[in-house]
């Protein structure tokens, strides 16, 4: 790569595009959403506990009845399931989409200070509405790609285990079927399915880690398909050396969030929270620290993605790099980048 390309494209972010340092920390359009997030999050978590715990008790009681045991939990009223459905919809709108809206605002704001990572790559787009739509679609796709394989394999393993248990109890006393042969076949089958389930679980954890840049790609290049976003995530996951700091920071962030949620569920009741009879200062203080760490982590993730993408292009073979020309316009630049990653 020539020195001209490095000067033009591989430069640090700058505030010469009309974005102030305060806008990077607290964009004006994100301030009311952040306040709303701080208020909504404890309500969503505590309400979920008050609904999910009785639901699990009811499911366990139904299993006990099916097994011929005396249930220890009565039937739930019909309006409970109406409340559960309404809560699921409202929590999705008030929690999930609110968090994604805040993330899209920050990513589009940060995208204005980052130059094009390489002459062959498209400029980062800063359309918040388009980025929000692409981010929601990507998150649904990411969750499905990560969660469905282990769920499907675990379900298959569980069903096969039940069938094997039924067959063992049915045919174990029959003389024409050897017990050792039956046990060998059943154990081999359940062990193989267990290994496949374990592999699916480990592969999902790996995909969750390597697809960390997907939300940045979805917001800054909303025209890309979800499958191409996932493919690019895998290709540049370890291009930048900063990922060896980013990935542990991500694990620490997740553990911190889980610990905070566990503390909230263990020490705060929803009635005490809504009646202001708990330590609200401590709760909101922990939330502010968590949100600050979350936003700082996302900025570092954005920077790591930008740096890794720059290094990815710089390491392309010259014969492959010469097959493409710089994107002439913003509208069709993403198509050239998509072809480049597809051929790589």
pLDDT at 290 over 60: yes
Tell me the longest C-alpha to C-alpha distance in the chain: 85
Cβ burial 286-295 (10 Å sphere, 16+ → b, else e): bbeebbeeeb
14 φ, ψ (degrees, to nearest 5): -135, 160
Closest CA to 101 of 121, 81, 129: 129
148's tokens: 């469905």
Taking the model in full, what pTM does it have? 0.78
Band (164; pLDDT cuts 50, 70, 90): confident
**pLDDT tens digits for range 191-228:** 888 899 999 999 999 999 899 999 999 999 998 899 99
Q: Which of 126-130, 133-137, 141-145 has the lowest mean pLDDT?
A: 126-130
pLDDT at 17 over 60: no
Percent helix, strand and coil across the chain, each to the nearest 5: 75, 0, 25
Domain ranges of the chain: 20-113, 127-236
**pLDDT tens digits for range 224-243:** 899 999 999 988 989 999 99
Collapsing DSSP to helix, strand or coil, 314 comes out as helix
């Amino acid at each position: 790569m020539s020195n001209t390309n490095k000067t033009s494209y591989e430069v640090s972010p700058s505030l010469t595009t009309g974005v102030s340092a305060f806008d990077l920390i607290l964009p004006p359009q994100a301030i009311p959403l952040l306040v709303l997030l701080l208020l909504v999050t404890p309500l969503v978590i505590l309400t979920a506990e008050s609904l999910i715990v009785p639901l699990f008790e009811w499911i366990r009681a139904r299993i006990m009845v099916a097994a011929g045991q005396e249930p220890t939990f009565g039937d739930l009223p019909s309006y409970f399931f109406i409340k559960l459905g309404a809560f699921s919809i409202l929590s999705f709108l008030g929690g999930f989409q609110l968090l994604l809206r805040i993330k899209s605002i920050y990513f589009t704001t940060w995208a204005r200070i980052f130059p094009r990572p390489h002459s062959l790559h498209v400029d980062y787009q800063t359309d918040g509405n388009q980025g929000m739509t692409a981010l929601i679609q990507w998150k649904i796709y990411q969750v499905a790609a990560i969660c469905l394989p282990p769920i499907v394999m675990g379900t298959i393993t569980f069903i096969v285990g039940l069938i094997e248990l039924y067959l063992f109890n049915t045919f174990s006393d029959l003389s024409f079927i050897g017990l050792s042969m039956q046990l060998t076949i059943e154990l081999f089958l359940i062990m193989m399915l267990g290994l496949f389930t374990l592999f699916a679980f480990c592969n999902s954890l790996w995909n969750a880690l390597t697809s960390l840049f997907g939300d940045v790609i979805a917001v800054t290049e909303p025209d890309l398909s979800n499958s191409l976003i996932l493919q690019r995530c895998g290709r540049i996951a370890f291009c930048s050396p900063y990922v060896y700091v980013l990935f542990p920071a991500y694990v620490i962030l997740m553990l911190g969030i889980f610990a905070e949620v566990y503390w909230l569920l263990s020490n705060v009741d929803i009635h005490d929270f809504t009646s202001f009879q708990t330590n609200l200062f401590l709760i909101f203080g922990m939330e502010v620290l968590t949100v600050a760490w979350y936003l700082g982590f996302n900025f570092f993730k954005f920077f790591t993605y930008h740096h890794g993408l720059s290094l990815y292009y710089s390491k392309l073979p010259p014969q492959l790099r010469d097959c493409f020309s710089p994107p002439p316009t913003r509208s069709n630049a993403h198509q050239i980048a998509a072809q480049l990653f597809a051929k790589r």
